[in-house]
Amino acid sequence: MAFISDRHVVLACRYLAPLNDVNDGTEIYLMLIDFKAEGATHKPIEEVRNAIKLCYPARENGAFYENFHLFSDPAPGWKPNDDRTPFFVAKENRVFALSMDVLMADGRRLGFYHLIPLSALKKCLGRINILSRQEMQWSEWASTSTRLLRISVLPFFVLAYSTFGSRFIRATVSRHAGERGRIVAQVYDFNQLALQGKNSESRADYMCILKSELLKDRDSIWTENVETSLPYRRFSRTLPVKASPAHKYLMCTADHIVLADVSVMNPLIFLNIDSAQFREKNRNT
């Protein structure tokens, strides 16, 4: 769950069909709820009326959603406690990130991130109708204003995703000589103002994607070709840490990548996103 405003929340819902159901499998969807209009009465989500359901494309037979998680920071209305701070993330400049892990009938495991700007969710709020709960299909709410990313399912435990305003960070593993096995932090920036005047570009440590894409064939888990369109740029930095089963938490700020490794005595490593110069801080937690 994440807050959209002081009266609206978004829920990431995963439905698991009963074993004897003819529609065996799982389904996922988002639910936008006006919790102030709904009131404080405890009830199943199927009985919530002040809400709208945001649908995902129909899945392939044999595709099973194992996990579906939602996260977004900071919270609406957040601002620094220190009045001397000259700049901070605008509360409207936020991205919501969803992760989905999928097991296919042939044994393959596929992973996706779905990045949704706050503006895309707010456009849907006007469809909330107390008389009859509405739903919106993928083509109505997501295809032209959000971005799906196909990812590798990581074999080690890293909290590989975090958001900071319009930025999203994930982890992968380097395969380059001399850096093989190290954690690579990838920072995705969905600030649309920062992308104005940019050109599409791709190199080892930076890419800028401005065009829409279609997820299809073996890159997809859905019955149709799925359009995804939100422009972004991505910065990649190799961290001085080997991938391992240890508990590591990867985060980002406006200027830095932060890796918290709770398996060692000096757990915090900071990397400047722009200069790629490392500095380690010895700090116990």
Tens digits of per-residue pLDDT, 161-173? Answer: 688 888 999 888 8
Q: How many CB atoms lie within 10 A of CB 111?
A: 18
| 84 assigned to some structural domain | no
What is the Cα–Cα distance from 166 to 95, expressed in whole angstroms? 5
Residue range 142-154, pLDDT digits in tens: 999 999 998 876 5
| 138 assigned to some structural domain | yes
pLDDT above 50 for 17: yes
Range of weakest confidence among 15-24, 79-88, 198-207: 15-24
pLDDT above 90 for 30: yes
**And the tokens for 245?**
């089963």
What is the Cα–Cα distance from 257 to 269, expressed in whole angstroms? 8
Pairing relation of β-strands 134-136 and 51-55? parallel
**And the tokens for 244?**
């391992």
Q: How confident is the model at residue 275 (pLDDT cuts 50, 70, 90)?
A: very low
pLDDT above 80 for 86: no
Q: How many CB atoms lie within 10 A of CB 88?
A: 13
| 83 assigned to some structural domain | no
Q: Are 253 and 267 in contact (CB under 8 A)?
A: no
| 272 assigned to some structural domain | yes
Nearest to 33 by CA among 55, 18, 11: 11
**Containing structural domain, residue 38:** 2-78+92-281
| 188 assigned to some structural domain | yes
Q: How confident is the model at residue 72 (pLDDT cuts 50, 70, 90)?
A: confident
What is the Cα–Cα distance from 156 to 246, expressed in whole angstroms? 8
Q: First-to-last CA distance in the chain?
A: 27
| 119 assigned to some structural domain | yes
The residues with which 228 forms a beta bridge, in sequence order, are 213
The CB-based long-range contact list for 104-107 (8 Å cut-off, 24+ gap) reads 104/60, 104/62, 104/63, 104/64, 104/221, 105/61, 105/62, 105/63, 106/62
Count of domains for the chain: 1
**And the tokens for 100?**
């989905």
pLDDT above 60 for 229: yes
**And the tokens for 40?**
């404080």
Q: How confident is the model at residue 134 (pLDDT cuts 50, 70, 90)?
A: confident
Residue range 37-65, pLDDT digits in tens: 988 888 888 888 899 999 999 998 888 99
- Sequence-ordered list of residues with C-beta below 8 angstroms from that of 158, at least 6 positions apart, any chain: 171, 183, 243, 248, 249, 250
What pLDDT does residue 5 have? 87
What pLDDT does residue 266 have? 55
| 40 assigned to some structural domain | yes
| 37 assigned to some structural domain | yes
